[in-house]
C-alpha cells in the first residue's frame, strides 16, 4: 500500500514537472524565438515578448515569403540576446496558396473587425487603396533608419510610392517573358545561330509582336502545332495583358497629375493585336479567355503550344507541379515581349510583392526591424532561386547561388525594360473596363474600335477627372 501511494506521488510530481516545463517562457533562452506561436497573446504579461502576426500568399515554392520573416525574427532575437536585451520576437501567421481576391477580402474583413495582422504581403497596387483607406502606415522613417533598405534597387522603390510617401518594403520581383519551343523554330528552318539570336533581335526592336504571330502561323501551316496553338497568352484576367498595351506605346499614369491615363491609339492597337491572333492568324482559339489554368499549363509543358507567355516564377511551377523535364526546359527559349512595331522598345512588366505594416499594429517599430532583418542577400536569394523570382537587392547579383542560376542570370536584364501597374485607388475600375473590352474583342462580340469607344465612355463616366484620355 505504501509503495502504491509513493508511486502515485512520484507520477504526479513527474506530470507536474512536465507541465511546468512545457509552460516555461524564459525569454532569455531564445529557444523558440522567431518560431510560430499559437498563443496569440501579443505583448505578454512580462512585457518582454512581442508577437507579430504576418500574412503572406503564394505557391508552396514561395513559402520563403513567410519563412524568411521567421528566420529574420530568429536572427533578431539572437542579436537582442547578444546585446543583453530582454525583448524577444515571436512570429505568428500564415502562408496560403489561395485565390488573390479571397486573400484580399480576408484582409479587408480583418481590418473592419479590428483583427488585422501586423504585416501583410500583397501586390504593390494595393498601396494606393489601402493607404487611402487608412489600412497601412507610411514607412519613410524606417526606410531611412535601417541600412538594409539601401541595398534595394532604386527602381523598385518607385512601385511603393504614393502621394509623396513610401508605404511598403519590396519582397520580390519578376519578369514576364515569352517562351518558345526552339525545336519548332528549327523545324521552320531557323539555324541554331538564328535561334540563339532571337532574344537580341527582340531587344533591338527588330522582331515585333506581328513577327511573333507570323512565325506562329507558319508553324501551324506546316503542321508543327495544331491550329490555335501557335500563341498561348494568359488565359484569364491579369496584369500580363498590359505589357501588350505598353508595347504599342500605351501609358497608364501621369506622375505630374497623379491620374490614370488611357491612350486611345495604343488601346486600339492592343485590341487589334488580340483580335488578329484569333481571327486573322488563327494562332489563338476563339474561346481562349476563360481556359482553366491547369489545362493551360499542361498544354504548354506538353509542347502542344508553340509560343506562350508567363512569369519567371512559372518555370518552378512547371517543373514541380507539371513535371517539365530538364531536357524539355533546355529546349525552351525565352525573351522579352516584343515591341508592337519595328524599332520599338520591347517590354516586360513587374508586379513587386511588398510587405506593408498595418495601422492596427501595436508594434510598428518591431515590425519594421524584422522586415529590415529579412531584407538581406542571403534570405532573398534563397527565395529567388527556389521560386524563380529576380533579385531585389544589388548585392544579390554577386551572391554565388544567384549568379550560378542560369535562368535568373539570363533574365535579370529584363528589369531594364520593366513597367508597373499604376498606384491609383481607382485602378480596379480601370482594369475591369479594359479587360471587358479585350474579352469582347477576342470573343468576336466587338470590333477593336467599337471596344475602344465603349471603354473610353465607361471610364469617363465612372472615373471623371481621375482619368486622362489621350
pLDDT of residue 46: 52
pLDDT in tens, 375-417: 999 999 999 999 889 999 999 988 999 999 999 989 989 988 9
Task: Kindly tell me if the per-residue pLDDT of 16 is higher than 60.
Answer: no
Residue found by looking up cell 486611345 in the block: 264
pLDDT of residue 450: 98
- Judged by phi (left if over 0) then psi (alpha if -120 to 50, else beta), residue 224 lies in alpha
Burial class (CB in 10 A: 0-12, 13-18, 19+), 230: buried
| pLDDT, average across residues 316-333 | 94
| pLDDT, average across residues 321-348 | 96
Query: What is the maximal distance between C-alpha atoms in the chain?
Result: 99
pTM (two decimals): 0.79
**Best CA proximity match to 217, nearest among 194, 243, 184:** 184
**Best CA proximity match to 337, nearest among 300, 302, 312:** 312
Residue found by looking up cell 486622362 in the block: 468
Question: Alpha-carbon torsion 409, 318, 156, 75, what sign?
Answer: negative
- 163 Cβ partners below 8 Å, 6+ apart? 131, 258
**Residue 451: pLDDT band with limits 50, 70, 90:** very high
The region of weakest confidence among 19-23, 224-228, 408-412 is 19-23
The x, y and z cell numbers of residue 433, run together, are 473596363
| pLDDT, average across residues 306-335 | 95
Do 131 and 165 touch, CB atoms closer than 8 A? yes
**Kind plus residue range of the DSSP H or E element containing 202:** helix 192-203
For 419-431, b/e burial (b = at least 16 CB within 10 A) is bbbbbbbbbebbb
pLDDT of residue 20: 37
pLDDT of residue 47: 54
Task: Kindly tell me if the per-residue pLDDT of 18 is higher than 90.
Answer: no
pLDDT of residue 3: 41
**Residue 30: pLDDT band with limits 50, 70, 90:** very low
Burial class (CB in 10 A: 0-12, 13-18, 19+), 187: middle
| pLDDT, average across residues 30-47 | 40
| pLDDT, average across residues 11-20 | 40
**Best CA proximity match to 251, nearest among 106, 419, 12:** 419
Task: Kindly tell me if the per-residue pLDDT of 253 is higher than 70.
Answer: yes
Phi, psi of 447 (to 5 degrees): -85, 160
Task: Kindly tell me if the per-residue pLDDT of 92 is higher than 50.
Answer: yes
**Residue 425: pLDDT band with limits 50, 70, 90:** confident
What is the per-residue DSSP string for 227-265? TT-SEE--SSSSTTHHHHHHHTT---EETTTTEEEE-HH
Task: Kindly tell me if the per-residue pLDDT of 17 is higher than 60.
Answer: no
What is the per-residue DSSP string for 293-341? HHHHHHHHHTT--SEEE--TTHHHHHHHHS---HHHHHTEEEEPBPPSS
- What gap in Å lies between CA 12 and CA 29, rounded to an integer? 27
- What gap in Å lies between CA 252 and CA 468, rounded to an integer? 9
Task: Kindly tell me if the per-residue pLDDT of 463 is higher than 70.
Answer: yes
Average pLDDT, the chain: 90
Task: For residue 397, give the DSSP letter.
Answer: G
Amino acid at each position: 500500500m505504501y509503495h502504491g501511494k509513493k508511486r502515485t506521488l512520484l507520477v504526479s510530481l513527474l506530470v507536474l514537472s512536465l507541465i511546468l516545463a512545457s509552460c516555461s517562457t524564459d525569454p532569455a533562452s531564445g529557444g523558440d524565438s522567431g518560431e510560430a506561436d499559437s498563443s496569440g497573446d501579443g505583448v505578454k504579461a512580462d512585457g518582454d515578448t512581442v508577437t507579430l502576426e504576418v500574412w503572406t500568399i503564394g505557391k508552396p515554392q514561395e513559402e520563403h515569403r513567410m519563412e524568411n520573416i521567421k528566420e529574420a525574427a530568429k536572427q533578431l532575437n539572437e542579436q537582442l540576446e547578444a546585446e543583453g536585451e530582454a525583448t524577444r520576437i515571436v512570429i505568428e501567421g500564415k502562408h496560403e496558396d489561395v485565390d488573390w481576391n479571397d486573400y484580399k477580402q480576408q484582409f479587408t474583413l480583418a481590418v473592419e473587425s479590428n483583427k488585422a495582422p501586423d504585416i501583410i504581403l500583397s501586390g504593390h497596387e494595393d498601396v494606393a487603396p489601402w493607404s487611402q483607406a487608412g489600412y497601412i502606415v507610411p514607412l519613410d522613417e524606417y526606410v531611412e533608419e535601417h541600412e538594409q533598405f539601401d541595398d534595394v534597387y532604386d527602381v523598385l522603390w518607385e512601385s511603393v510610392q504614393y502621394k509623396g510617401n513610401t508605404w511598403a518594403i519590396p519582397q520580390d520581383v519578376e519578369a514576364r517573358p515569352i517562351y518558345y519551343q526552339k525545336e519548332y523554330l528549327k523545324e521552320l528552318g531557323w539555324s541554331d545561330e538564328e535561334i540563339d539570336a532571337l532574344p537580341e533581335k527582340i531587344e533591338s526592336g527588330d522582331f515585333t509582336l506581328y513577327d511573333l504571330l507570323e512565325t506562329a502561323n507558319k508553324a501551324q501551316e506546316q503542321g508543327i502545332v495544331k491550329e490555335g496553338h501557335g500563341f498561348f497568352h494568359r488565359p484569364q484576367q491579369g496584369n500580363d495583358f498590359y505589357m501588350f498595351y505598353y508595347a504599342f506605346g500605351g501609358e497608364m499614369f501621369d506622375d505630374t497629375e497623379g491620374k490614370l491615363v488611357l491612350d486611345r491609339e495604343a488601346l486600339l492597337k492592343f485590341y487589334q493585336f488580340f483580335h488578329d491572333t484569333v481571327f486573322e492568324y488563327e494562332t489563338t482559339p476563339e474561346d481562349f479567355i476563360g481556359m482553366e489554368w491547369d489545362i493551360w499549363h499542361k498544354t504548354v509543358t506538353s509542347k502542344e503550344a508553340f509560343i506562350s507567355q508567363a512569369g519567371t516564377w512559372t518555370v518552378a511551377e512547371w517543373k514541380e507541379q507539371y513535371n517539365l523535364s530538364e531536357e524539355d526546359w533546355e529546349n525552351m527559349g525565352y525573351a522579352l515581349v516584343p515591341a508592337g512595331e519595328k524599332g520599338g522598345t520591347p517590354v516586360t512588366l513587374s508586379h513587386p510583392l511588398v510587405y506593408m505594416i498595418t495601422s492596427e499594429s501595436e508594434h510598428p517599430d518591431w515590425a519594421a526591424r524584422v522586415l529590415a532583418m529579412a531584407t538581406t542577400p542571403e534570405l532573398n536569394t534563397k527565395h529567388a532561386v527556389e521560386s524563380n523570382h529576380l533579385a531585389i537587392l544589388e548585392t544579390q547579383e554577386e551572391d554565388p547561388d544567384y549568379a550560378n542560376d542560369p535562368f535568373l542570370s539570363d533574365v535579370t536584364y529584363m528589369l531594364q525594360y520593366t513597367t508597373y501597374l499604376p498606384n491609383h485607388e481607382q485602378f480596379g475600375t480601370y482594369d475591369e473596363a479594359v479587360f471587358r473590352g479585350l474579352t469582347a474583342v477576342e470573343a468576336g462580340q466587338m470590333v477593336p474600335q467599337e471596344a475602344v469607344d465603349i471603354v473610353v465612355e465607361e471610364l469617363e463616366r465612372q472615373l471623371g477627372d481621375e482619368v486622362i484620355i489621350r
